[in-house]
Chains A and B, each alone.
Chain A
Amino acid sequence: MGSYSFYLSTLLVYFGIDLLCAWSLNLQYGYAGVINFAFIVFQAAGAYAASVVVLGSDTGLGAYQTYIFGMQVPFPLPLVAAALAGAFLSGLIGLFALRRIRRDYQAAVMLIVSLILFQVVSADIHLFNGSNGLTGIPHPFQASLGVTLSTYQWIYAGWVLAICVVVYFLVQALCKSSWGRALKAIRDQEDAAASLGLNGTLLRMHVFIIGGAIAGLSGGLLVEFIGAWSPGSWGYAETFVIFTALLVGGVGNNRAMVIGTLIVPIIVLEIPTFLPAFGYPGLVDAIQWMVIGLLWMLFLLVRPRGLFPERRYIAKRPGSPPLRGGLRGLATRVLTLGRPEHSAADSFARPAHSTALDQEPSLGEREIEVPVAGLVVVTGSAAGTSTHELVGTKALNLDIPAREPVMVAKELVVRYGGVAAVQGVSLEVFPGEIVGLIGPNGAGKSSVLAALAGQMRARGGVIRLGGQDVTRSSPYARARLGLARTFQTTSEFPAMTVFENLLVSSRGATGASLWHVASRWRTNRAEDQAAEARAWEVLDRFEMTDTANAYGAELSGGQRRLVEIMRCLMRDPALLLLDEPMVGVAPHLVKKISSDLRSVADDGIGMVLVEHALEVVRTLCDRVVVMALGRVIAEGSYDEVVADKGVRDAYLG
């Protein structure tokens, strides 16, 4: 009986520790898309850290084990040290591994990193006693509790599970917040996410560090339980156990991690314990790893998102009657353009929305924090817009005189390798103006948009947004200054619902900064509700309410375009770049979107429209710029450029 109690309590401790690992990995892979093949290294970092701060100083050369630090700090500081070590190592590795690189490359780099660290720790005897590892790490409180080892094991299991509960609520809160939504956006479509003001590298860094801290904590808990730690405990293959648990349970679903952890590390790896011994020593281990590999491959083939994948976010409309959104609702905006005192670095830390609120504290905060009984109280003509309207109009009046252009580009040059796709194009857009950019295929229109929005670096020329030089700014910094764009190939977030697609674009609840979400956890809900109200209104406007809970990947091509446009309008941009927005959109909606765009522009948004449908250009654009072979060949009203001989030659060859 005693041995079973011992076995079960041990198993329970391992279960809790593996569960922590699974949550950490789910945060990194399930939410942020980081394939962390180095995972086990962060657990090891925690384990070593906890060991060396509790072991006391080594007795110098000739001692049976040597290691760095060597302190005797009391419980629970070793666990704190473990979490910090995991976080610190994550930050260090994240510096070079989390740049914008292809995710399969990233995975390979992680694998390499884990093998390097393994070699270093195994080879260096002074760091953590080399490949022999550390032993004699005491169980916390075992002596003072005065209980049998068996009882102690159960107490320790309870302690681990208590930590699991705390970590679960923490992780779950993060995942459900607007920050978690932002993570999914960068996971799904990094370019598009950047065009909504999200800094992918920074978001990944944060999630990587949080995951690293949890991994480190799990290592600390593990080493205080087993009392020893050596490179043998953290071979790279251990990472795959956790990955397999994640894939079996369900990617992006924290609750499913419980199931995954039960199935893979507990059941699959414990089965051999109950089998009669066979073969030579090591055969059972080898077969175990083969099974893990097969299980992993099987799930990637049959259910790549796991048994219980991420649950669909179902948006429920507040009980109010449908809102007559109205053009004014759409067109209101917070303008941060033309405010030199707000550098990109300023808006970097805080979403533009709150920057504006800070300026008008009495107005802003009163208006935002009015949810009553869980519903947004809608005042004025449109949902959740009264704040935007007041602040926005004011900003508009104060900061951007109508005659100042929102965007000026001078002598732009864009090159792909040796080919100059854009050679000295200049373009100005004034508030309220729709500029059509047309030209034959390969004229460089999309390259101009990419240079303006920052996806391509301009090799020459200057770009100013509202007076600020943004030629070298990143796409997300430009987005935060009020630039929004759609892409030629649609870039909705496929694994997020239409409603989430819109929410992630809201300036108030963008989730761009972990600090913002964490420090204002009281007001997050209010911000979310304001964003939700606005999302419903935009959906109504584009007759897309029925698709609110559809995944991006489930939409038709035309609907995806609409999602992109809606996403831009959620942001109240000052400058909107549209790359062939009407491709695949139903004819009756083309008219409707045209009139919407017109009315949006009338409220002061500048627009650049790349479009092949000349009818749309004719009806919509105030001014048309014609490009061919990377240069501007004509500019003027639609009728003027159509009459131009050079333009006819360019089109008809």
Chain B
Amino acid sequence: MHLLIQTLGFGIVTASIIAIGAIGFTVQFGLTNVLNLSYGSIMTVGAFVAYLTETVHINIWLGVVLGGLAGAFLTLLIGKTIFKLYASRGTRLFEMVMVTLALSLFIEYAVDAISRDQIYSVTFPQGGTVTMGPLIFTVSQLVLVGIGIVVFLLVEGMLKLTRLGKALRAMAVDPQLARSCGIPTNRIVNATWVLSGFLCGAAGVVYVINSLSVSFSTGYDFLPTVLAAAILGGVGSPRGAVLASLLLGIVTELVAALGGSSYSTVAAFGVLVVVLLCKPSGVLNATSRKVELTV
């Protein structure tokens, strides 16, 4: 019983890490309709920023912000140049996913070339431990959970309460109509690239804070989980992404606790497969609505 509760605690930590990435992904995908598989390689870039900040002895938590900024800059750059170029040439949705994967391949191996194909370890003081009833956390784990909660509340609040959020939601439903209503769609798209890019880069840093090592494939190891959470949670729904992250995080830790640590991520994907089998329409079917690229 004690093990179960502790596992639940670890699950929440893992879920927070997944959720930061998944919220960014789902916001980006929900608005632009670009299923951006290069998201993983941007996370890698964020992770390397964390490594660099650690080597020059900048506080790792400041590194989260720096990684986020790097992600935001890179995502905005890619969105405004590459994705826009393809969209303007009539690239279709399913071709766009191939563009993003090819781009991801490029960035990933560029990082590989620069990082000399090595794995780097990231070490920083974990802080003491905190006992909360039956649960024991390190301070940094608690901070991770805190970041996850803050990110969720900020994004959710932004979408529900601010003018920007309302415009964003309107555009996600019907970009043409939104444009003709006088919403500055271009600026909204920019805001989306920046926001989702920031979360993406930050997610990379947060992932490294937990895993303590970084290589060119870090983002790619993490991307499937983020993707699974975003798909499970439903397009464009931060709340769904958080719930799905919780589910995946807890399942992952549960399987690890039961002795199958090498199967823990596999089990998480098992959840995705089961959901796909049982309820493909609820989660995934977006074919009835006409969707187009908005970049």
Contact = CB atoms under 8 A, between A and B. Distances in A.
Nearest to B228: A112
Contact of B266 (A95, A116, A304): A116
A289 interface: yes
B120 interface: no
Interface string B235-260: 00000000000000000000000000
A105 B284 CA distance: 8
Interface in B45-101: 82, 85-86, 89, 91, 93-99, 101
B165 interface: no
Interface string A475-517: 0000000000000010000000000000000000000000000
A190 B109 contact: no
A348 to B, nearest CB: 21
Contacts of B228: 112
Given A108-B37, A304-B95, A293 B105 contact: yes
A323 interface: no
A292 interface: yes
Of B35, B37, B101, B269, most A-chain CB atoms within 10 Å: B101
Contacts of A35: 94, 97-98
B109 A293 contact: yes
B144 interface: no
Given A104-B94, A104-B96, A115-B224, A301 B102 contact: no
B248 to A, nearest CB: 12
A620 B210 CA distance: 71
Q: Secondary structure of the A side of the interface?
A: helix
Interface string A105-126: 1011101110110011001100
Contacts of A314: none
Contacts of B105: 237, 240, 289-290, 292-293, 296
Interface stretch (A279-287, A324-332, A422-430, A458-466): A279-287
Contacts of A300: 86, 91, 95, 98-99, 102
A158 to B, nearest CB: 34
A152 B104 CA distance: 40
Contacts of A294: 102, 106
Contacts of B273: 96, 113
Contact of B224 (A116, A280, A297): A116
A108 B97 contact: yes
A311 to B, nearest CB: 21
B149 to A, nearest CB: 27
B98 A282 contact: no
B287 interface: yes
Contacts of B116: 280, 282-283
A37 interface: yes
Interface in B271-293: 272-273, 276-277, 280, 284-288, 290-291
A280 B263 CA distance: 34
B109 A287 contact: yes
Nearest to A288: B109
A119 B266 contact: yes
A95 B99 CA distance: 27
Given A107-B97, A290-B105, A292-B105, A96 B91 contact: no
Contact of B109 (A124, A289, A455): A289
B94 A111 contact: no
Contacts of A282: 112, 116-117
Given A109-B276, A119-B266, A297 B117 contact: no
A111 B93 contact: no
A345 interface: no
Given A119-B265, A286-B117, A290-B110, A104 B103 contact: no
A312 interface: no
A439 interface: no
Contacts of B99: 297, 300-301
A148 B276 CA distance: 53
Interface string B110-128: 1011001100000000000
Q: How large is the interface on B (under 10, 10 to 19, 20 to 34, 35 or more residues)?
A: 35 or more
Given A96-B280, A300-B86, A240 B101 contact: yes
Contacts of A108: 35, 37, 97, 227, 231
B131 interface: no
Interface string A2-44: 0000000000000000000000000000000101010000000
B59 to A, nearest CB: 32
Interface residues of A, number: 50
A281 B117 contact: yes
A378 B96 CA distance: 48
Given A115-B224, A290-B109, A301-B85, A101 B287 contact: yes
Interface in B155-174: none
Interface string A221-263: 0000000000000000100100100000000000000000000
A103 interface: yes
A347 B109 CA distance: 52
Contacts of A190: 287
A124 B262 CA distance: 8
Contacts of A99: 276, 280, 284
Contacts of A366: none
A100 interface: yes
Contacts of A107: 35, 94, 97-98, 101
Contacts of B96: 104
B269 A103 contact: no
A101 B277 contact: no
A307 B65 CA distance: 45
Interface string B16-47: 00000000000000000001010000000000
Contacts of B86: 300-301
A296 B98 contact: yes
Contacts of A237: 105
Contact of A280 (B103, B117, B231): B117
B272 to A, nearest CB: 7
Contact of B102 (A105, A293, A489): A293
Contacts of B89: 301
Nearest to A101: B284
A310 B273 CA distance: 34
A316 B26 CA distance: 50
A95 B280 CA distance: 11
Given A107-B35, A123-B262, A100 B287 contact: yes
B117 A96 contact: no
A97 interface: yes
Contacts of A588: none
Contacts of B93: 102-104
Nearest to A282: B117
Contacts of B276: 96-97, 99, 109
B200 to A, nearest CB: 16
Contact of A111 (B37, B82, B103): B37
A287 B113 contact: yes
Contacts of A124: 262
Interface in A447-462: 455-456
Contacts of B117: 280-283, 285-286
Contact of B98 (A95, A100, A243): A243
A117 B80 CA distance: 35
A97 B284 CA distance: 11
Contacts of B98: 35, 107, 243, 296, 300
Given A111-B101, A113-B269, A456-B288, 20 more contacts: A33-B94, A35-B98, A37-B101, A99-B284, A101-B287, A102-B93, A103-B97, A104-B94, A107-B101, A108-B227, A109-B272, A112-B272, A116-B224, A123-B263, A282-B112, A283-B116, A287-B113, A292-B105, A297-B82, A300-B95
22 contacts: A35-B94, A37-B101, A96-B277, A99-B280, A99-B284, A100-B285, A100-B287, A101-B280, A104-B97, A107-B98, A108-B97, A108-B231, A111-B227, A113-B273, A119-B266, A123-B263, A280-B117, A289-B105, A289-B112, A293-B104, A294-B106, A297-B106
Closest 6 CB pairs of A and B: A282-B117, A293-B106, A293-B105, A296-B102, A123-B262, A103-B94
